[in-house]
Structure 1
């Protein structure tokens, strides 16, 4: 399909929107991320600054988390809903591409880093919840929080050791 002209792809694009199901599903998923952002903001008040939800691109909906520890390293986390995979991921991001590259190299021995290729937008992208149950909001939220806490503890320990 990428070899087709934009005009040749438009009919499939229009068909995807025709029923309204795509828009409804997208809005429901964005709403889930917005609710998670609100929960994170309350639960981690004083521990993390939690930014607003960023969306508008069809591939990712996310919000940033940063604390003093990450800030001193010019890093932040992103809790990401990957629409293509319909899963939640936790990304470690650098303030600049150079900082991302620096930490990608420093963390290359960890289980999170793909040493073959650095991700385009982050130091690493790790599955937080591979098969979320979008129909059970309470279970989804509890699972995301539990996985975040576990993963953040591991990441912070490794970051503390690599300086």
Structure 2
């Protein structure tokens, strides 16, 4: 096992190439632009602040009021290690999360992944938005994420109303 000093030396070496900072800034810039784009296009949705994370995930909440009224929220999540965008249905707390995991366990959730209640799990349902994001074409990537996120929100709302 590497010592903390070894890990920090490797971290410093990687930072000295400059590529990690450039990539990280690119991801944060894209996420910020995506948040602004969706906020402007969907004024009836509530958009949360951008959470930068610890190079594990970066996300923001983007939820229709119908879900917010049920103490639920949607998060658009970028997973750094996987280089993938996902959309998650989450809740305002663990008690509400557990209630809705049980609710969806009894539903046909189609292609969505149902989460299990356990420490560190923040989602109720998950779906992949883009498993190979093309950051060189940000406008197309925004539209893909937008389309799939709205589909997810509408699908979840329908399931909740059945």
Question: Given the two structures, how large is their TM-score scaled by the length of structure 2?
Answer: 0.88
Q: What is the DSSP-based 3-state SS (H/G/I as helix, E as strand, rest coil) of the residue aligned with 2:126?
A: strand
Q: What is the number of equivalent residue pairs in this alignment?
A: 158
The match for 2:95 among 95, 98, 103 is 98
Q: CA deviation at 1:10?
A: 2.0
Determine the structure 2 residue equivalent to 1:11.
9
Determine the structure 1 residue equivalent to 2:154.
153
Kept after mapping to 2: 8 A contact 1:104/1:113: no
Q: What is the DSSP-based 3-state SS (H/G/I as helix, E as strand, rest coil) of the residue aligned with 1:61?
A: strand
Kept after mapping to 2: 8 A contact 1:93/1:100: yes
Determine the structure 2 residue equivalent to 1:53.
50
Determine the structure 2 residue equivalent to 1:81.
78
Residue ranges of structure 1 left out of the alignment (5+ in a row)? none
Report the CA distance shift for 1:49/1:114 in structure 2 as closer, same or farther (over 3 A).
closer
Q: CA deviation at 1:99?
A: 0.8
Higher relative contact order (CA closer than 8 Å, sequence separation 6+): 2
Determine the structure 2 residue equivalent to 1:134.
135
- Which aligned pairs between 1:27-46 and structure 2 lie closer than 5 A? 27-45=25-43
Larger CA deviation: 146-155 vs 4-13: 4-13
Q: Distance in 1 between matches of 2:78 and 2:141?
A: 12
Q: Distance in 2 between matches of 1:14 and 1:88?
A: 28
Kept after mapping to 2: 8 A contact 1:64/1:78: yes
Q: CA deviation at 1:149?
A: 1.9
Q: Distance in 1 between matches of 2:91 and 2:104?
A: 13
Determine the structure 1 residue equivalent to 2:112.
112
RMSD of the TM alignment (CA)? 1.9
Q: Distance in 2 between matches of 1:72 and 1:23?
A: 39
Kept after mapping to 1: 8 A contact 2:115/2:125: no
